Structures are given as C-alpha cells and as structure tokens.
C-alpha cells in the first residue's frame, strides 16, 4: 500500500491531531506544506503535488472538507492517486464519507477516527492536558467526564480554561476540576465568547443573559471575555498571514486557530486595544459597584465592544 495518499475522517479536533502525527512522520514543516479548501481549482492542487519542496524532502499537500469535493476534482485526484508523485503526500481531511473513499482504499490509506469513550477518553484528556502544559491525573480526567460530559470540544474548552486560570505546569486533580466545573452549564461560556469574537450582537447578548440567568458568576464571565480579547490581540497582527501563522503565535492546533483567525479579523487592532481598556474599567466598576449591579456593567461593556463604530 502506498504511503503517498491519506484520507483522514472524523471530528475536526481528532483529524487535526492525526494531521500533526502525519507531519511528524514525514518531518514536514510550514515551508513544505500546501493547504487547499475543497472548492480550490483542482489543477492548483495537482500542481502543488507535482512541485518538489524547495528544501527537498517530502511535500505535504492538505485538502480540507474532502467530502465536498466536486466531480472534476474527484476525477482528477483519483487519476493522480494511481500514480502519485514520489516526494509528495496528499492528505484529504473529511468529516464524513467522501467520493474518493474507494480510490484511497485502493491506492493509499483511510484513517477513520472515532471519538474516544470511557477509559480511552480519560487517556485523551490526560494527553491533551499535557499539550496545554497541565499535569492531569487519572481521577481528574474522570471527574472532568462527570462534570463536562464526553463531547471533545467541551472538554477541550474546559482544559483551556484550567490552563488560563492555573497556568502552565499546574497539577490538576479531581478537586480542582470539581471546583472549576461544579455542574454542566446549559449555556457554555465559549458560546458567549465565540459570539463576541464573531461580532454577532444579538447572539452575544442572548448568550450573556442566559449565562447570568443560570447564576454563572459575572466575574467568571468577564474573565473568560478578557482571555478571549487577549487571544485576539495576540494574533491580530499575523491574522492576514494565514492560519499557520496564527496557530504558531497562539500555540494552538490549526482547527482552533482557524476560528480565532476569523474572529480577530472581525475587529481592527485599535478596536481590540480599546476593548481591553474597556474591560479593565469594567472590572473596576464591577468590584466597586459604580455601575449598579455587576451584570449591568458587564452588559454595557459587551454592547460597547461588539457594536461597530461609524
């Protein structure tokens, strides 16, 4: 079986992890990689596959959302797979079955990824925690499953919250998890911070109000928003250079960096700096009671940040 063609199918987070493993296997880096969406002209994809890497070695060509490939692309790529370039690797990423499944099975390797459950999920949590600089023990992993559930994105967001709150190298036990996540909120904080990042006013205010109605502490919500704006500021200056640059600066996998890149580009750099200043003032207002209730101060800040100045 050829090792020049791969189809990786599964949840986005797992697919990106598998892509990282492929990079390590072929010693690939950003200078020897090319990325395409499924609607890219197929001749450009073929051109990248047949163009040697400038630095020698293997050239990795990645096509995302392969389940959406058009017929012309499917036909051309199928013909390519029968006689692939020896110094290139084609990685097709998909969230569902594709029209190239049979061709890849014949000429390459299909990697079907299932979401981990039970003991394997606990192991995944520990490994992901290590990637974020946390030391997560086995009891903490099971406590996280009990508190958060078994959805990978929810767990990943929770681990990032722990990393932000406790810092790199923090030891995470069951007690730390239960203190941080005493229950599974109906409305998760990341729904709110994503809406603010994407500059969707109605969604931002609706998510914020649901969080507050569920008695989510206003200062905790403020802290999550501060972390979100800080991340966007960090990547705003490189957002125009592509998702790879954002991932490197933010220290996160590309599947997360892509969303953050889009969010950062929703604001100007000056707007994000003003947003941080506004949140600093809001923190003072909330703790001093200057604006009435904490909730009122937080709502006013969100309205000011998300609204577009004319």
The DSSP annotation for 54-69 comes to TTSSPEEEEES-GGG-
Query: Hey, what are 224's tokens?
Result: 């999550």
Residue 121 scores a pLDDT above 60: yes
Least confident of 68-72, 165-169, 217-221, 249-253: 249-253
Q: Is 286 left (phi over 0), alpha (psi -120 to 50) or beta?
A: alpha
Residue 36 scores a pLDDT above 70: yes
Share of the chain above pLDDT 70, in %: 96
* Residue 180 confidence (pLDDT): 85
Q: What is the CATH number of domain 189-306?
A: 1.20.272.10
* Residues 53, 64: Cα–Cα separation, whole Å: 20
* Residues 19, 11: Cα–Cα separation, whole Å: 12
Name the residue with higher pLDDT: 165 or 195.
195
* Residue 195 confidence (pLDDT): 94
Residue 187 scores a pLDDT above 60: no
* Residue 30 confidence (pLDDT): 73
* Residues 231, 221: Cα–Cα separation, whole Å: 15
Task: Supply the DSSP string of the chain, one letter for each residue.
Answer: --SSEEEEES-HHHHHHHHHHHHHHHT--GGGEEEE-TTS-HHHHHHHHTSPPTTSSPEEEEES-GGG--HHHHHHHHHHHHS--TTEEEEEEESS--TTHHHHHHHSEEEE-----HHHHHHHHHHHHHHTT-EE-HHHHHHHHHHH-S-HHHHHHHHHHHHHHH-TT-EE-HHHHHHH-SS--SS-HHHHHHHHHTT-HHHHHHHHHHHHHTT--HHHHHHHHHHHHHHHHHHHTTGGG-HHHHHHHHTS-HHHHHHHHHHHTTS-HHHHHHHHHHHHHHHHHHHHTTTSSHHHHHHHHHHHHHSPP-
- Give the tens place of pLDDT for each residue, 5-31: 999 999 888 998 899 899 989 988 777
Share of the chain above pLDDT 90, in %: 55
Residue 154 scores a pLDDT above 60: yes
Least confident of 10-19, 125-134, 176-185, 300-309: 176-185
Please identify which residue in the block is written with the tokens 């929703």. Answer: 266
- Give the tens place of pLDDT for each residue, 44-55: 999 999 988 777
* Residue 292 confidence (pLDDT): 58
SS (H, E, C) 191-217: HHHHHHHCCCHHHHHHHHHHHHHCCCC
* Residue 185 confidence (pLDDT): 45
Top-confidence range, 112-126, 142-156, 248-262: 112-126
Q: How far apart are the first and last CA of the chain?
A: 59
- Give the tens place of pLDDT for each residue, 81-120: 999 999 999 999 999 889 999 999 999 999 999 888 888 8
Residue 183 scores a pLDDT above 80: no
| CATH, domain 5-112, list 3.40.190.10, 3.40.50.12160, 3.40.50.300, 3.40.50.1980 | 3.40.50.300
Instruction: Judge whether 118 and 91 are in contact, CB under 8 Å.
Output: no
* Residues 82, 234: Cα–Cα separation, whole Å: 44
Q: What is the CATH number of domain 118-180?
A: 1.10.8.60
* Residue 1 confidence (pLDDT): 37
pTM for the model stands at 0.58
Tell me the backbone φ, ψ of residue 65, rounded to 5 degrees: 55, 50
Kindly list the domain boundaries of the chain, sorted by start residue: 5-112, 118-180, 189-306
Q: Which value, to the nearest 10 degrees, does the dihedral of the CA atoms of residues 58, 64, 66, 71 take?
A: -90
Instruction: Judge whether 132 and 159 are in contact, CB under 8 Å.
Output: yes
Instruction: Collect all residues with Cβ–Cβ distance below 8 Å to 215 and sequence separation of at least 6.
Output: none
Angle at 91 between CA 86 and CA 95, to 5 degrees: 160
């Amino acid at each position: 079986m050829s090792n020049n063609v791969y189809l990786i199918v599964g949840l986005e987070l797992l697919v990106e992890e598998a892509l990282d493993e492929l990079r390590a296997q072929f010693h690939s880096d950003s200078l020897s990689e090319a990325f395409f969406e499924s609607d890219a002209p197929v001749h450009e994809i073929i051109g990248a596959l047949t163009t040697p890497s400038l630095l020698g070695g293997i050239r990795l060509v990645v096509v995302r959302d392969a389940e959406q490939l058009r017929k012309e692309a499917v036909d051309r790529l199928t013909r390519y797979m029968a006689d692939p370039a020896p110094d290139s690797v084609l990685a097709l990423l998909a969230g569902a079955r594709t029209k190239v499944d049979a061709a890849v099975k014949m000429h390459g390797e299909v990697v079907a990824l299932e979401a981990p459950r039970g003991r394997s999920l606990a192991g995944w949590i520990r490994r992901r925690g290590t990637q974020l600089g946390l030391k997560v023990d086995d009891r903490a992993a099971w406590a996280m499953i009990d508190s958060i559930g078994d959805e990978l994105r929810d767990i990943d967001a929770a681990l990032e919250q722990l990393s932000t709150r406790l810092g790199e190298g923090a030891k995470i036990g069951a007690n730390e998890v239960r203190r941080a996540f005493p229950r599974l909120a109906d409305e998760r904080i990341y729904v709110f911070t994503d809406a603010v990042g994407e500059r969707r006013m109605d969604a931002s205010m609706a998510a914020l109000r649901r969080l507050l109605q569920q008695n989510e502490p206003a200062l905790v919500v403020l802290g999550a928003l501060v972390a979100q704006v800080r991340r966007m500021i960090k990547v705003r200056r490189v957002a125009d250079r592509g998702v790879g640059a954002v991932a490197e600066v933010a220290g996160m996998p590309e599947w997360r960096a892509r969303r953050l890149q889009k969010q950062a580009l929703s604001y100007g750099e000056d707007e994000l700096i003003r947003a941080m200043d506004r949140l600093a003032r809001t923190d003072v207002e909330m703790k001093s009671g200057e604006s009435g209730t904490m909730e009122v101060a937080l709502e006013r800040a969100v309205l000011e940040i998300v609204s577009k100045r004319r």
